[in-house]
Amino acid sequence: MFIDQAKVSVKGGSGGRGCQSFYRDKNNRKGIPSGGNAGDGGDVIIRADRNLYTLLDFKYNRHFFAKNGAHGSGKNKTGRSAENIIIRVPLGTLVKDAQSGYVLRDLKIDQEEVLIARGGKGGLGNRHHREATDGVPGEEKELILDLKLIAQVGVVGFPNAGKSTLVQAVSSAKTKIAAYPFTTLAPVLGVVKQQGNFTFTIADIPGLIAGSSEGKGLGDKFLRHLERTELLVHLVDMAGFEGRDPLSDYRTIIKELRNYNSDLATKPQIIAANKMDLSGAAENLQKFKQAVKKKVFPISALQEEGLEELIVAIGKRLSAHRS
């Protein structure tokens, strides 16, 4: 199950209590202060992990409380500090304050960390003061974890345009493929390896329809996963599934991207004409190219035809974008 938003509660551990103790012997009837310091409470740390792809772990486990520091004891013995809690999240997770919505950290790098709730300092024993002191309470926060996938390339298009088939053909991703709309109900990430050790990540975004930017179909829930991409591959069913018009589908997707976020419509884009192995596709392609007046890559994701040229073009566009 793909979960891309979660609300969690975090609390740093409180510091332990300092010890009030006196050492007495036959030479020190009044007693010498010997109370030890207390240990610090544990911190709560959020760490990005490239091996995670969903916030599913937070569907049922939403409370992360670090342990308190141990109390000090007599004979100047210091209490043990509590261990930190590490919360692992996928790359691309925004850590937000639940009340204000303010972004505390955008975790984009593997193993990047943010100390989100600091544990309290332990109290001092009376060996430092006349009176021992209590520990400081740990920080407590309500957070929103908001995952936006990090992929260089996002594949967009109508349901059944062949996005899942394309991503599976060019990468190691395992996607569900069937001949009915909305087969893909969550984004799927794959890694494409080219010659010369050039690699890029590609995301299969669930199919868009007219009104997606307003919540229709699968809605705008997944459109936000396109915001971090460097390049879009616009996949068009050139055979016209169920009598659809390829040019109309293309223009509808462009409109929905623009309505959701104007920046999406201006991202670098490669047009791929899929299902060229089916009848009617060749004729539709000629009309389509005359109308859009842009470079179009004819492919058949199912037959794995034309994919090498498409991948090379994607690699070149990504290299140009980064330089």
For residue 265, pLDDT beyond 50: yes
Confidence of residue 57 (pLDDT cuts 50, 70, 90): confident
Q: Are 6 and 55 in contact (CB under 8 A)?
A: yes
pLDDT at 79 over 90: yes
* pLDDT at residue 5 tops 70: yes
Flag whether pLDDT at 177 surpasses 50.
no
pLDDT above 90 coverage of the chain, percent: 55
Helices 246-260, 281-292: axis angle to 10 degrees equals: 50
pLDDT at residue 172 in the model: 62
pLDDT digits (tens, 9 = 90+) for 106-160: 998 999 999 999 999 999 999 887 899 999 999 999 999 998 877 889 899 888 8
Report if pTM > 0.75.
Answer: no
Residue-level pLDDT at 2: 58
Between residues 100 and 56, which one has the greater pLDDT? Answer: 100
Q: What is the pLDDT of residue 189?
A: 76
Q: Is the pLDDT of residue 306 over 80?
A: yes
pLDDT at 179 over 70: no
Residue 228 has pLDDT above 50, yes or no: yes
pLDDT score for 322: 62
Range from 181-185, 211-215, 238-242 that averages highest in pLDDT: 238-242
pLDDT for position 30: 80
Taking the CB of residue 172, how many other CB atoms lie within 10 A of it?
Answer: 11
pLDDT of residue 174: 52
Q: How many Cβ atoms from other residues are within 10 Å of residue 51's Cβ?
A: 8
**Phi-psi domain of 76 (left: phi exceeds 0; alpha: psi -120 through 50; beta: other):** left
Q: Which residues of 8-26 are buried (b: 16+ CB within 10 A; e: fewer)?
A: bebbbbbbbbbbbbeeeee
Q: Where are the beta strands (DSSP E) in the chain?
A: 5-11, 22-25, 28-33, 44-49, 63-65, 85-90, 93-97, 103-107, 113-117, 140-147, 153-156, 188-193, 199-204, 231-237, 269-274, 296-298
Between CA 257 and CA 265 the distance in angstroms is 5
Q: What is the mean pLDDT of residues 207-226?
A: 56
| Confidence (pLDDT) at 320 | 81
| Model confidence at 210: pLDDT above 70 | no
> Does 173 or 293 have the greater pLDDT score?
293
